[in-house]
Amino acid sequence: MSEAPNSDQTRATLRAITEADAEGYRACLDRVAAERRYLAFTAAPPLQEVKFYIKAMLQRGLPFIVAVDGSGLVVGWCNIHVLPQTEHRVGFSHVGTVGMGLDAPHRGKGLGREMLQSVFDTAGRVGIERVELQVYASNESAVKLYRRFGFVTEGIKSRARKIDGQYDDIIMMARLRPPSRG
């Protein structure tokens, strides 16, 4: 498990991700994944995959921000991914999926709330009307945060994950933006 480098404990700032952030974002993703509690994977994907993902998100104008501490270390991220519409996959371009994470020392300080607000502000401008996510039931602080943002539970996958001998339910949540009046 990679430890967060001696992260500057001053308040992290939010900004749009750039392609130059690939290594820092991947390192943060790897640290959160290594905790084996919050993400569906236990290690970050290879750097080339991360670079490709960031580039694709930027090209499509999708919301993707990073939280950066005073020393320039990426300590968190939040994005809303929309699957590309293809000839055989149509009708879902208004649906986005939240991905987010924070290094442990930066949790519980309101940064998650700020990150979500930031990506939601962009989501409406790029036509995202439905935002959905999946969260482990054991991640109670995240569930509370999402509910405060208007997410509602749409379903529960019981005992959907088993890691280190422990089961965890997955809560499927969504938030709808009212349709625009034309």
pLDDT digits (tens, 9 = 90+) for 81-125: 998 877 777 889 899 999 999 999 999 999 999 999 999 988 988
Give the per-residue SS3 of the chain.
Answer: CCCCCCCCCCCCEEEECCHHHHHHHHHHHHHHHHCCCCCCCCCCCCHHHHHHHHHHHHHCCCCEEEEECCCCCEEEEEEEECCCCECCECCCCCEEEEEEEECHHHCCCCHHHHHHHHHHHHHHHCCCCEEEEEEECCCHHHHHHHHHCCCEEEEEEEEEEEECCEEEEEEEEEEECCCCCC
Condensed to tens digits (0 to 9), the pLDDT of residues 19-43 reads 999 999 999 999 999 999 999 999 9
For the beta carbon of residue 10, count every other beta carbon within 10 angstroms.
9
CATH superfamily of 13-176: Gcn5-related N-acetyltransferase (GNAT) (3.40.630.30)
Report whether pLDDT(4) > 70. Answer: no
